[in-house]
Amino acid sequence: MVLRRNHYDAAFEEYLRASKAPYVAVDEKRRALVQDSSIKSLDFIVYANQGPNLLIDVKGRTEIFADHNKKRRWENWATIEDIRGLQQWQQLFGEGFRSGFVFAYELPIDSFSNNLERLFAFKERLYAFYLVMIDEYCLKMRPRSRSWQTVFLHQQDFHEVRQPVDALIRV
C-alpha cells in the first residue's frame, strides 16, 4: 500500500482492498520517462476478472447540491495533461488495458439515507466512485478553461458515459 496524502486516492485504494480486487498502486512521486519525455503518473492499475484491465487516474471532487432542489452538480473536469497521460498509458500498455478516470465524490453525510449512489464509507466520510473511460471522455469533452487547460463533460454526457466502479471490478 502506497502512503497517500490525498483522501480521495486513499478511499479508492481502501475500496479496492475491501473489494479484494487485484491492483497495483502507483507511486506518484516520480514521473515515468518515455523517449525523453515524461508522462503524468496514473494512480492505479486494476486487474479485472472479466473485460479489460484498468489504468486509473482518480479525480477527487466534493459533491454539493447545486440548489435547494437537491440537484447534484457532478463536477467532472480534468486537465489536458490528464487526458494525454491516460491516452499515452493506454497506448503503452496495449491490448487488454483501458485507461479511465475514477471520479471519487465525497458526498454529504445525509446522502447515505438518500440511497442515490452506491456509497463507500471511509474514515467518517462517504464516497461514490464512477468510472469514465478515456476514449468516451474525449469524444464528449468540452473546453472549460483555456488558461488552466481544463475540459469537462456536460451533465447529460457525463451521466451517459459514467459507470459505477463496482460493476467493472467485481471479482
- Over residues 76-124, the pLDDT tens digits come to 999 999 999 999 999 999 999 999 999 999 988 776 555 556 789 899 8
For residue 61, tell me if it sits in a domain: yes
Residue 70 has pLDDT above 60, yes or no: no
Q: What does the alpha-carbon distance between residue 126 and residue 57 come to, in Å, rounded to a whole number?
A: 19
For residue 1, tell me if it sits in a domain: no
Amino acid at 94: G
CATH number at residue 47: 3.40.1350.10
Average pLDDT, the chain: 85
How many degrees, rounded to 5, is the angle at CA 49 between CA 83 and CA 87?
15
Which one is predicted more confidently, 127 or 37?
127
What is the structure's pLDDT at 39?
A: 86
Residue among 57, 98, 107 nearest 79 (CA): 57
Range 10-30 average pLDDT: 89
57-66, 91-100, 118-127, 136-145: range with lowest mean pLDDT: 57-66
25-39, 102-116, 133-147, 154-168: range with lowest mean pLDDT: 25-39
For residue 72, tell me if it sits in a domain: yes
Domain residues for the domain of 73 are 7-166
Residue 22 has pLDDT above 90, yes or no: yes
What is the structure's pLDDT at 13?
A: 96
For residue 92, tell me if it sits in a domain: yes
Domain count across the chain:
1
For residue 171, tell me if it sits in a domain: no
Residue 1 has pLDDT above 80, yes or no: no
Residues 141, 80 contacting (CB under 8 angstroms): no
Start-to-end Cα distance in the chain: 19
Which one is predicted more confidently, 40 or 58?
58
Pairing of strands 125-133, 119-122: antiparallel
Residue 44 has pLDDT above 80, yes or no: yes
